[in-house]
Amino acid sequence: MNLIDFPLRGEHITLDALLKATGLAPSGGIAKMMVADGLVQVDGRDELRKTCKIRAGQVVSLAGARIKVLSAPG
């Protein structure tokens, strides 16, 4: 499994933007399709909202990958 630590800049990032920023989706459109198809979980629950706000401390999972969202230092 691919484990990714993602340092968050700011208060939140949308789920589709996170998938694109981590390289798990090649484009925003593909990221939105992945979420709409039910392939993504947030904190262990299926998430179907493409622009769900992801905050530090949350974990996003999909087939073969897990993203831990961290507070950006300083």
Tens of pLDDT along 24-59?
999 999 999 999 999 999 999 999 999 999 999 999
Residue 74 pLDDT level (bands cut at 50, 70, 90): low
Q: If you average pLDDT over every residue of the chain, what do you get? A: 95
pTM of the model as a whole: 0.93
Domain boundaries along the sequence of the chain: 2-71
How many Cβ atoms are within 10 Å of 27's Cβ, its own excluded? 11
Report long-range pairs for 16-19 (Cβ below 8 Å, ≥24 apart): 16/50, 16/51, 18/54, 18/60, 18/67, 18/69, 19/60, 19/62
pLDDT at 47: 97
Average pLDDT over residues 18-22: 97
Superfamily of domain 2-71: RNA-binding S4 domain (3.10.290.10)
